[in-house]
Structure 1
Amino acid sequence: MSKPKNKVKHFFRKDQAKKMVLRKPNKNIQDKSARLKEMRIPEDKIAPQRLQKILASSGLGARRDMENLIESGKVQINGKKAKLGDKVTSADEVKINNRAVKLIFPNRLPEIILYHKQEGEIVSREDPQGRITVFDRISPIKNHKWIAIGRLDINTSGLLIFTTSGDLVNRFSHPRFAIDREYAVRVNGQLTQAQMDELVMEGIMLEDGLAKAARISERHNDNENSKNFWYNIVVQEGRNREVRRIFKYYKLNVSRLIRTRFGPIAIPPRLKLGQYYKLNALETEYVLKEMGMLEYTPGRFK
């Protein structure tokens, strides 16, 4: 008889995040949101999907198993042997071991939630050290899996976005889209105007390449006698600890780092630390349009 696997012990209390309570929107907005939520995107308007991804999401097995099937030559698209990375639409015929399979394409709006991450939480599904992860805070979703868009290090708080759409994650995260990431930063010391200009105009060389700020401005001093200064900085990459390393380059230590905006989404002023907010259908449609993903917007095809 095999021994049960040892589970990682959590050394911190795991309280789930509380939902931010808002007043109900007016009836017109409620009705529009309800209609949009129930709409379906026409199949011919859905973007092509990676083969291994759509096979897995259609309930035919885990993605890794689907990748193995493709690599072993057992999957065909329109009579031709498929390969990893191939994309398919609803018009394509897909067979596994010469038997046609039914593919289920995502034809509804994805889910999006905004979470106000606290310091001390890690952005990972599991942690070998037993620390609290953001996924411990977020309630699971039926028939889907939450995906965190980007990461925040353990000592950074602020806006963390979760979604059920891998394509939306890619649109936010891939460097070619150059999506704004805005942070409020408190440092011990002060940048000169010349240093701020250098960051925006020329950039600075870090150990992993050139780093630039899209914008940077001084916010306010904690008090007249304090040596701490606050800055707003916007970067367009998701490199590891980039903002901290930028200030370290100027010999300034970051004591607080808060993400306040990611792309078109700013952290709601009423969203307290440890709380989350689920976007309604109209808000989700707005995000998709702002991110250039109109093919995922049912309202466009009324």
Structure 2
Amino acid sequence: MRRINQMSESTPERLQKLLAKYGIGSRRKIEEFIQQGRVRVNGKVATLGDKATDKDKISFDGKALHLYGQPMTRPRVIIYHKREGEVCTSKDEKDRKTVFDSLPKLAKSRWIMVGRLDINTTGLLLFTTDGDLANRMMHPSYEIEREYAVRVFGQQLSDETLSKFKEGIQLEDGLAKFNSIKFSGGEGANLWYYVTLSEGRNREVRRMFEAVGVTVSRLTRVRFGDIVLPKFVARGKTLELNPSEVNKLRKSVKLKEYKFPKKLVERLEKK
């Protein structure tokens, strides 16, 4: 394991942990960037296992990150109601609208997306400035439950099909199953179900229904862990969590409570 800067008096940390603390991205995403050779420390291409401090010269894709002297900002979390047709990326080669286009602008940090939704799926997306929080919320070991409202076309699902969903459907990337699936009514051939699962594989809900020959005509995420998409948050709009809600979220993934300044708490809790 290399120690990149022997001259720094700051305590060295693993590179992915350091950058996550400064809101550069989740640890998992930063590890991908390091493996792709996109991160340099003091002019050298970084490798997994490298350690650094905020006094080192760190760059990403050739651009300096300027961590030295930058104060750690308070952890922020926002709910975003994703619209159909938006892509979950900061920049899109096809110039399509991205979810980041509608987020509040930040001066000293950046929004990290917690998971993603495909272009045709709407509903709840979470963003945070806290890299550690984002990493844990996305990590499979924490088994955070997601809930979706699913509109399907056709007849009501049989008991046999419902049982298959709970026992597990074999997909190309492994077994997938719902924690629960409940019929919620509908009109004509359009029927609604609410499903829950504890992982976030690519297009998992859609692929599970496709595997049993059922077409999904609309898919909306309505809950992520204990965070429910409020009905008053319109599509394309955001809502910021208050300090109590942020700390509740941190506690759910075994992170320490953040000590928000008292005056800030009083101001934000009133909103």
> TM-score w.r.t. structure 1 length?
0.67
CA drift of 1:120 comes to 0.8
For 2:239, the aligned partner's letter is: Y
Q: Aligned match of 2:168 in 180, 203, 206?
A: 203
After superposition, the Cα gap between the structure-2 partners of 1:87 and 1:203, relative to the gap in structure 1 and judged at 3 Å, is farther
CA drift of 1:112 comes to 0.6
- Quote the sequence identity (%): 44
After superposition, the Cα gap between the structure-2 partners of 1:131 and 1:94, relative to the gap in structure 1 and judged at 3 Å, is closer
Distance 1:164 1:215 in 2: 32
Unmatched tracts of structure 1, length 5 or more:
1-47, 72-82
Equivalent residues in 2 for 1:269-284 (5 A)? Answer: 269-284=231-246
Q: Aligned match of 1:169 in 116, 124, 134?
A: 134
Equivalent residues in 2 for 1:186-225 (5 A)? Answer: 186-189=151-154, 190-200=156-166, 202-221=167-186, 223=187
Residue 65 of structure 1 is matched in structure 2 by 40
Residue 116 of structure 1 is matched in structure 2 by 81
After superposition, the Cα gap between the structure-2 partners of 1:130 and 1:208, relative to the gap in structure 1 and judged at 3 Å, is same
For 2:162, the aligned partner's letter is: M
Q: 3-state DSSP class of the match of 1:298?
A: coil
Q: 3-state DSSP class of the match of 1:238?
A: coil
CA drift of 1:51 comes to 3.0
Equivalent residues in 2 for 1:114-263 (5 A)? Answer: 114-189=79-154, 190-200=156-166, 202-221=167-186, 223=187, 226-263=188-225
Q: CA RMSD in A?
A: 3.0
CA drift of 1:103 comes to 7.6
Does the CA-based 8 Å contact 2:77-2:126 persist in structure 1?
A: yes
Residue 4 of structure 2 is matched in structure 1 by none
For 2:200, the aligned partner's letter is: G
CA drift of 1:150 comes to 0.6
For 1:188, the aligned partner's letter is: F
Distance 2:199 2:44 in 1: 35
Does the CA-based 8 Å contact 1:70-1:84 persist in structure 2?
A: no
CA drift of 1:50 comes to 2.9
After superposition, the Cα gap between the structure-2 partners of 1:164 and 1:67, relative to the gap in structure 1 and judged at 3 Å, is farther
Q: 3-state DSSP class of the match of 1:216?
A: strand
Distance 1:179 1:259 in 2: 14
Equivalent residues in 2 for 1:19-98 (5 A)? Answer: 50-54=14-18, 57=22, 64-66=39-41, 69=44, 71=46, 84-85=48-49
After superposition, the Cα gap between the structure-2 partners of 1:157 and 1:67, relative to the gap in structure 1 and judged at 3 Å, is farther
Residue 290 of structure 1 is matched in structure 2 by 252
Q: Aligned match of 2:229 in 264, 267, 272?
A: 267
Deviations 1:56-92 (A, max 9, x none): 9499xx9812286474xxxxxxxxxxx733568xxxx
Deviations 1:203-229 (A, max 9, x none): 0101111111111111112x3xx0111
CA drift of 1:255 comes to 0.5
Does the CA-based 8 Å contact 1:54-1:105 persist in structure 2?
A: no
Does the CA-based 8 Å contact 1:109-1:285 persist in structure 2?
A: no
Distance 1:58 1:178 in 2: 23
Equivalent residues in 2 for 1:5-16 (5 A)? Answer: none
After superposition, the Cα gap between the structure-2 partners of 1:284 and 1:96, relative to the gap in structure 1 and judged at 3 Å, is closer
Equivalenced residues, count: 226
Distance 1:241 1:55 in 2: 29
Distance 1:150 1:184 in 2: 17
Structure number with higher relative contact order (C-alpha < 8 Å, ≥ 6 residues apart): 1
Distance 1:247 1:280 in 2: 37
Unmatched tracts of structure 2, length 5 or more:
1-11, 25-32, 58-66, 261-271
